[in-house]
Chains A and B, each alone.
Chain A
Amino acid sequence: MAAEPTPTPRSYASIPAEDPGGFAGQLLAFGEELREEGMALGTSELLDAFAALEHVAWNEQPQFREAMAATLAKSPEDRRVFELVFERFFFRAAEAQAARHEISEAPGGTAGASDEMALDLEALRRQIAQALKDGDEATLRDLARLAIAAFGRGEGSGVLGVDVQRIRRALGLRTEPQPDLPPDDPRREGVPREQLRRFEQQLRRELERGVIQRTRSLPPKRPLSELDRALPTGPAQDLAQVHRVVAQLKRRLASQGHEQRGRKRHAHVDVRRTMRASLQSGGVPIELRFRPQRPRRPEIFVLCDVSTSVTSASTFFLSVLHALHDSFRKLRSFVFIERISEVTEVFEKERDFRTASEKISQDAGVADISGYTDYGRVWTEFLTEIEDELHPRATVIVLGDARTNGRPPREEVFAAICQKAGRTFWLNPEPRLYWNYGDSVISAYAQYCTAFECWRTDQLEDFVKALTQPTVT
């Protein structure tokens, strides 16, 4: 999963003269592309895919796609990557093939249709809205072409996204209801969001196809943006999604301890249970029973940045905090911006996350005037308040971006904290790429603690694993 997709130059590539190795070669190339996007794909999986294709009608796209997905993509996350890569790969492959054989969608046909349709653009608008409601994929594709012919007007702006939105506006398609339209108009109730998204996708593909035909070259292969897989931290994304992730994490946390409680060979023999088990064999202790290994239940102090530079991430942070509260018995949490404030009680009293976060923003009183994070001051305050309670078995977790806004980082105070506590972790919501750029001073702190980048769910999970590792004694 760690492999970073290699950046592709953003220029159009000319079409390769031949396709590599026919059908099997194409499939292998597809597998290769999945690997590039970070899916762990073994040879055995590819063999399975080939075996599966012997049994399904692979000239039908849905069956082909499902068979490939069932054999290659083995988790919901992989499935998402699979879908994206599948679209990208086979669209490009088909287009390259078409261009090679000089097959083009007869421009006469569509142009002729557009002349007729031009007379009745309003009818076309309605037709499209109706098709969107009915959700017929094939009709949608045809209509997308008509729409481009009718509203696309020539070469377009050169940026596909702009053209797509222009056409959508010209069609008067919106997700919200439009009460001023006549009652029989299918657009009146608003178009389902999901449908609209699919239609836009169709438009984009058709436009792209046009470009490929005109320029006889393939558009650059867009690597999947990391955002496609990122933690749902963006303020635009809804809280419910954050919760699904956290709920999942919570369940995993709950089972984590059990999983690692497995009987190890070095564990102590549990005499009582061994005796009991021996009754079965007439008092001879054939089977030894061992004491289960207890998972580490650390005493945890969490410090969470809630300033504006991490607004989007702090919602997520707070819910992680919340999840942690359920999973560890001794946990004290603090939020900070310029000052620090303990919020343990809020979380203990409030089981509902929404209310808890509201309470924190109301009562915590962590911002002074500027609202910029002052790490130096936070460390000092934390140290004076908690110093006596820190001990070698305590774990301190800091959630923040380590952006000091030019204020002194005071890493020596932080070092003192790390020294007093047994372990210190830093979770940074920024990708490692941005660390130490601008006013980020993460390296000053990272020398005293273990820093994790934490903006994808798998990273968060890695962290939780490190946190709950059984004690090595």
Chain B
Amino acid sequence: MNDTRPEPQSVDDVAAGLRGVGYLPGSSTALVSYLAAKLGKPVLVEGPAGVGKTELAKALAAYLDRDLVRLQCYEGLDEAKALYEWNYRKQLLRIQAGTSSGGEADWGEVQDDIFGEEFLLARPLMTAIASERPVVLLIDEIDKTDQEFEAMLLELLSDFQISIPELGRIEARSRPVVLLTSNNTRELTEALKRRCLYLWLDYPEHDQELEIVRLHTPELDERIAHRLVEIIEQVRELDLKKPPSIAESIDWARALLLLGAREIDAEVFRETMSVIVKHRSDLDTVAARVGAKLAEPAADAA
């Protein structure tokens, strides 16, 4: 805990800091991040795909000047891949080296030896709490794992410690800022939620999204950016398999910039629609409901 970097002093500090590293937080985002740093509680971030949940962790790491340790969850993820694992091969080598290098090595000695930290492979969660410098730990898409895994996380999240039967308890050398993200595909257990602060990230308001687009593509004409955000909002209103996320708005803005479009008319929209809509049936819906409303290019009319 011998960390000398300045701690954020207020919510506005955090908001400004996140802005400084290119992430535009909503008011609740900044507040919850601040609370997370102050209270040392993990944050559970939920929301639709592509609203910047993972980005938030990256931005926090950059702002707090900490390393980001990321654990990507998937179905079947177990302790061996998330916490720690004994390095079997190295242990075998050690035993063989002991027996071959003359005489009978003391079994007790070998046994103590091969269950030492040297033979421990630290996985992300272990790395995060064993690190000397505090880190930002991102546990991404926690809803993809099974409930057993969640239960295993509880010890780590509430006490920041890990129990290893052979070694005993390993306590955190530093307090990481922990973010868990979830797409809400299944209900997380009450026990897990209880230990976390909760942040719901939704699609941003018009102005905020405009700002985000402008931040990432400053060269894009402001009028077009404005129009782009309006259209994205219309598209999100529709009943789509996969509504466009912020990442897709930015991609679209970049595409328009590359094409040198000066207006989003029906033709440009038809050509670039596939950047924001990624399903066959969605494409038809969007073309019929949004594309048809746009003005035809001036050249056609003339």
What are 19 A-B residue pairs whose CB atoms fall within 8 Å in the complex? Answer: A40-B190, A48-B39, A51-B39, A55-B35, A56-B11, A56-B34, A62-B27, A67-B31, A69-B28, A69-B198, A70-B35, A70-B198, A74-B193, A79-B200, A243-B239, A251-B185, A256-B186, A258-B75, A351-B281
Contact A71 B197 (CB under 8 A): yes
Tell me which residues across on chain B come within 8 A of A45, comparing CB atoms. Answer: 194
In the assembled complex, the CB of B180 is this many whole angstroms from the nearest CB of chain A, namely 12
A258, closest chain B residue (CB) = B75
Q: In the complex, which of the residues A52, A76, A281 contacts B46, with contact meaning CB atoms closer than 8 Å?
A: A76
- Further contacts, 15 of them, CB under 8 A, given A52-B197, A63-B11, A461-B187: A48-B39, A48-B197, A55-B34, A56-B31, A57-B11, A66-B27, A70-B31, A71-B197, A75-B198, A247-B241, A252-B186, A252-B187, A256-B186, A258-B146, A282-B92
Is B148 among interface residues, defined by CB-CB distance under 8 A? Answer: yes
| Distance in Å: Cβ of B237 to nearest Cβ of chain A | 7
User: Taking the complex as formed, is A112 at the interface, i.e. its CB lies under 8 A from any CB of chain B?
Assistant: no
Docked pose: A70 CA to B199 CA in angstroms: 6
In the assembled complex, A240 has its CB within 8 A of some CB on chain B: yes
CB distance from B197 to the nearest CB of A (A): 5
How far is it, in angstroms, between the C-alpha of A44 and the C-alpha of B190 when the chains are bound?
12
| A52–B28 CA distance with the chains assembled, in angstroms | 13
Q: B11 touching A48 by the CB < 8 A rule?
A: no
Partner among A40, A75, A240, A256 whose Cβ is within 8 Å of the Cβ of B238: A240
Nearest neighbor of A256 in chain B, beta-carbon distance: B186
Interface centre among A48, A66, A71 (most CB of B within 10 A): A66
Band of interface residues on B? 35 or more
- Interface readout for B184-211 with A: 1 if CB under 8 Å, 0 if not? 1111001001101111100000000000
**In the complex, residue of chain A having the shortest beta-carbon distance to the beta carbon of B284:** A352
Residue positions of B touching A, CB distance < 8 A: 10-11, 27-28, 31-32, 34-35, 38-39, 41, 44, 46, 75, 88-89, 92, 143-144, 146-148, 183-187, 190, 193-194, 196-200, 237-239, 241, 281
A259 lies within 8 A of chain B by Cβ:
yes
How many Å lie between the Cα of A280 and that of B198 in the bound state? 41
B32 touches A70 (CB 8 A): yes
Docked CA distance A351–B279 (Å): 13
B39 with A52: CB separation less than 8 A: yes
Q: Does A42 contact B (CB under 8 A)?
A: yes
A259's contact among B146, B199, B238, by CB below 8 Å, is which?
B146
Assembly CA distance A42 to B183 (angstroms): 24
Instruction: Find out whether the CB atom of B88 lies under 8 angstroms from the CB atom of A73.
Output: no
**Chain A residues closer than 8 Å to B75, beta-carbon distance:** 258
Per-residue contact bits, chain A 189-218, to B (CB 8 Å; 1 contact, 0 not) = 000000000000000000000000000000
How many A residues touch the partner, as a band? Answer: 35 or more
Residues of B within 8 A of A70 (CB): 28, 31-32, 35, 197-199
Q: Which A residues from 41 to 92 make CB contacts under 8 A with B? A: 42, 44-45, 48, 51-52, 55-57, 62-63, 66-67, 69-71, 73-76, 79
How many residue pairs at the A-B interface have CB separations less than 8 Å?
90
A42 to B193 Cα, complex, angstroms: 11
- The reply on A248 being an interface residue by CB < 8 A is yes
A262 in contact (CB, < 8 A): yes
Q: A66 touches which one: B10, B31, B183 (CB < 8 A)?
A: B31
In the complex the two chains form, is A52's CB within 8 Å of B35's CB? yes
Nearest CB of chain A from residue B227's CB, rounded to whole Å? 17
Q: Are A55 and B198 in contact (CB under 8 A)?
A: no
Report yes or no: A63 in contact with B31, Cβ–Cβ below 8 A. Answer: yes
Among B183, B193, B281, the one with the most A-chain Cβ atoms within 10 Å of its Cβ is: B193
- Quick one: which of A88-144 are within 8 Å of B by CB? none
CB nearest neighbor in A for B36: A70
Q: How far is it, in angstroms, between the C-alpha of A316 and the C-alpha of B34 when the chains are bound?
A: 41
In whole Å, how far is A51's beta carbon from the nearest beta carbon of chain B?
A: 6
Q: Which residue in A44, A251, A282 is a CB contact (below 8 Å) of B194? A: A44
Q: Which residues of B contact A71 (CB under 8 A)?
A: 35, 197-198
Q: Name the residue on B nearest A52 (C-beta).
A: B35
Q: Are B32 and A262 in contact (CB-based, < 8 A)?
A: no
> Which B residues are CB-close (under 8 A) to A262?
146-148
Q: Is A165's beta carbon under 8 Å from chain B?
A: no
Known A51-B39, A74-B196, A76-B46; judge A255-B281 contact (CB<8 A). no
Residues from chain B with a CB closer than 8 A to the CB of A415 are none
Given A63-B31, A70-B28, A262-B146, is A76 in contact with B200 using a C-beta cutoff of 8 Å? yes
Task: Report the separation of the CA atoms of residues A69 and B92 in the bound assembly, to the nearest whole angstrom.
Answer: 53
CA distance A83 to B27 in the complex (A): 16
C-alpha spacing A251/B88, complex, angstroms: 39
Docked complex Cα distance between A316 and B68 (Å): 44
Q: Per a CB cutoff under 8 Å, which of A40, A69, A239 touches B239?
A: A239
Min CB gap B47→A, angstroms: 9
Q: How far is the CA of A62 from the CA of B38 in the complex (A)?
A: 19
| Minimum distance in angstroms from B130 CB to a CB of chain A | 24
Q: A56 with B35: in contact, given A74-B196, A79-B200, A252-B186 (CB under 8 Å)?
A: yes
B198 and A74 contact, CB distance less than 8 A: yes
Expressed in whole angstroms, the minimum distance between the Cβ of B84 and any Cβ of chain A is 15
**Chain B, Cβ-Cβ closest to A44:** B194
> How near does chain B come to A191, taking the closest CB pair, in angstroms?
16
- The CA of A352 and the CA of B183, in the complex, are separated in Å by 24
- C-alpha spacing A70/B26, complex, angstroms: 14
Check B186–A74 contact: CB distance below 8 A.
no
Contacts of A74 in B (CB 8 A): 44, 193-194, 196, 198
Residues on B with C-beta less than 8 A from A281 are 88
**Cβ of B186 and Cβ of A255 under 8 Å apart?**
yes
Q: Which residue on A lies nearest to B26, using beta carbons?
A: A66
User: A48: shortest Cβ distance to chain B, in Å?
Assistant: 7
Q: Are the CB atoms of A66 and B146 closer together than 8 Å?
A: no
Top 10 closest pairs, chain A to chain B, by CB: A74-B198, A74-B193, A55-B38, A66-B28, A243-B239, A240-B239, A251-B185, A70-B197, A66-B31, A70-B32
Query: In the bound complex, what is the Cα–Cα distance between A252 and B281 (angstroms)?
Result: 22
| CB-defined contacts of A62 to chain B, threshold 8 Å | 27
A454 → chain B, closest Cβ, in Å? 17
Give per-residue flags for A238-281: 1 if the beta carbon is below 8 A from chain B beta carbons, else 0: 01100100011001101110110010000000000000000011
Closest to A246 in B: B239
Q: How far is the CB of B244 from chain A (nearest CB, A)?
A: 15
B241 nearest CB neighbor, chain A only: A247
Chain B proximity of A407: nearest CB distance (Å): 37
Interface centre among B28, B31, B196 (most CB of A within 10 A): B31
Contact A248-B32, Cβ < 8 Å, known A73-B198, A240-B237:
no
**A119 nearest CB across to chain B (Å):** 36
- Report Cα–Cα, A254/B75, bound state, in Å: 12
Chain B residue with the shortest CB-CB distance to A458: B187
Give the distance to chain B from A84, nearest Cβ to Cβ, in Å: 16
Write the chain A residue with the least CB distance to B37. A55
